[in-house]
Amino acid sequence: MKFTRFLSCSSLFASTAISAWNDFDLHPVLAPGYDTAKLANIVPSTNVTLDYSLDILADPRSSVSIGLQTYEPVVLLEAIGPVHQVACTYNTVTIGFSTLAAFERAISEWPHDGEFWLITNHLGNCDAAGERGIYLVVGLNWDNDTTSVMAKTAKMGFGNIASSITVTFSDVQGSVSNNSGNITFDEPGINVASNFSLPTDDQIFSEPPYFTAIANNGYLSDAAIIRGQFSYDVPTQRLQSLWFDIDTAFYGDLALTFNVSAPFSSSHYAFSPGTFFASTVNVPGAFSLQPALRWSVGADVGTDGAIHHSSNITMSIPDGHAHIDFMNSSNSRIVGWGPRLTSAVQTDEAATGHASPFIDFTIELALNVLDGVFNTTGGITATPQFINDLNVAQSQTRIRKANQMFWPRNVTCTNGFELRSAFNFSVAAYVTDEWQKTLYNTEIPIADECYPF
């Protein structure tokens, strides 16, 4: 005998469509705070800002900004307009000035015995593509005839120059949507997206010889915009602060069939279709940030007899926003995350038990500072689950699932079975090996009805 019931629950929702951008080609750009016409930029400073753009337009909303506090003062050559020529050897940096005023200002301001830093940016042969050069100056030779100076130097890295490093990732807000089933974010910044389909009629988990779960079809799509900041103290090798703001949306369409041929203890199953690794956001020698998008499809299953049950779920989270404070979990929070679930179930054979599919969607961020001196990984996981509890009349068995408990109420079903369904949705943030915190959890009842044999 076949029993069919269509179920749905929803909240405010806007559909979305896919547009994946995840190729991060950082290149140095002058920070907006510098005016190249000002000769004051010739004066060495222990505070310097280095910007890197994610796009050819150098939009400040799509930049990575590195603020350095340095042990010795720094001269940022790209901020000095009259610097028109720079050439490097293995132990010298030669700088040519286009005006006498700039040349004389450098003579008066730069320490005669050296002991300061030069940072180059694509004038001459001083740095690799997409990078700046960092040089410790140990001596200066001035040439009045050519208005140039040859600095005796040693090439160094961020770990040598900085006492502290503060990195700010692009400040991006907003998403663009239409009414297809895919997802897109069409804004400058650290954008990541992925989508893929499960093979039709694929067995995704089983417990031979009594249990199999077949994915009749499945499609998963996700996208996120990431921005944030961290501050790192170099001498102590400790983070001072680290947070990320994540704007995200995801969509999943999944049809599963559960076949259980004998009593089966409650178990938790999960199948991962794969992990999507976007390009690394990387400033060599300073830091790298590796975003990853990960899906998992699973179910909580248990029964005291044979069941044949199918669940179809289509779920969307179009507008999720999360603030994750890696240093203090109590500062982590979310807004939005209004879900929509459309679902259908079909039961051909019933016993007291449960078959409750779920989808996990994770955005994970792995941060590496100063070529591995410090590493940390954290992120956010959203888990929608379609809970289905079946209870056959006259059965007093109680089946405990991994996360939920539904108590049979078979007094209302005297000649058939009861189907109780709900939609559970949770969002949790975590930092690996440090903490995990549930930021949001809701359960929405969908149905509690009897079906005759």
DSSP type of residue 80: -
Q: What is the pLDDT of residue 196?
A: 80
Kindly provide the b/e burial profile for residues 312-345, where b requires at least 16 CB atoms within 10 angstroms of the residue's own CB: bbbbbbbbbebbbbbeebeebebebbbbbbebbb
Taking Cα atoms as reference points, which of 184, 248, 186, 164 lies closest to residue 62? 186
Q: What pLDDT shows up at residue 60?
A: 55
What does the pLDDT average to over 181-186? 46
DSSP 39: G
Q: What is the average per-residue pLDDT within 104-133?
A: 89
Amino acid (1-letter code) at residue 103? F
Q: Distance between CA atoms of 193 and 225, rounded to whole angstroms?
A: 9
Check pLDDT > 70 for residue 179.
no
- Report the share of the chain in percent with pLDDT over 70: 84
- Residues 46-71: tens digit of each pLDDT: 999 999 987 655 555 558 999 999 99
Q: Which residue has the higher pLDDT, 14 or 139?
A: 139
Looking at residue 344, what is its pLDDT?
83
Per the model's pLDDT, the better-predicted residue between 353 and 365 turns out to be 365
d(CA 152, CA 136): 8
Instruction: Provide the pLDDT confidence category of residue 235 given band limits of 50, 70 and 90.
Output: very high
In the predicted model, what is the mean pLDDT of residues 349-354? Answer: 86
Length of the chain: 453
pLDDT higher for 310 or 116?
Answer: 116
Model pLDDT for residues 259-318, shown as the tens digit of each residue? 999 888 878 888 887 788 888 888 999 999 999 998 889 999 989 888 888 888 888 888
What pLDDT score does 187 carry?
Answer: 54
Using CA atoms, how far apart are residues 319 and 13, in angstroms rounded to an integer?
A: 8
15 versus 98: which is more confidently predicted? Answer: 98
* List of residues 6+ apart from 166 with CB closer than 8 A: 66, 67, 229, 230, 231, 232
Rounded CA separation 336/318 (Å): 9
Residue 20 is predicted with a pLDDT of 40
CB 273 within 8 A of CB 315: no
Mean pLDDT rounded to a whole number for the chain: 83
pLDDT of residue 452 exceeding 90, the answer is no
For residues 175 and 171, give the distance between their C-alpha atoms in angstroms, rounded to a whole number.
13
What is the model's pLDDT at position 57? 57
Record the tokens describing residue 246, joined without a space: 């994540």
Which pLDDT score, from 0 to 100, does residue 37 have?
96
- The first and second tokens of residue 109, run together, are 């301001």
- Give pLDDT, residue 58: 55
pLDDT of residue 9: 26
Q: From its phi and psi, is residue 151 left (phi > 0), alpha (psi between -120 and 50) or beta?
A: beta
Considering only CA atoms, which of 263, 261, 258 is closest in space to residue 209? 261
Record the tokens describing residue 185, joined without a space: 């974010």
Q: Which pLDDT belongs to residue 393?
A: 67
pTM: 0.84
Q: What is the mean pLDDT of residues 108-116?
A: 91
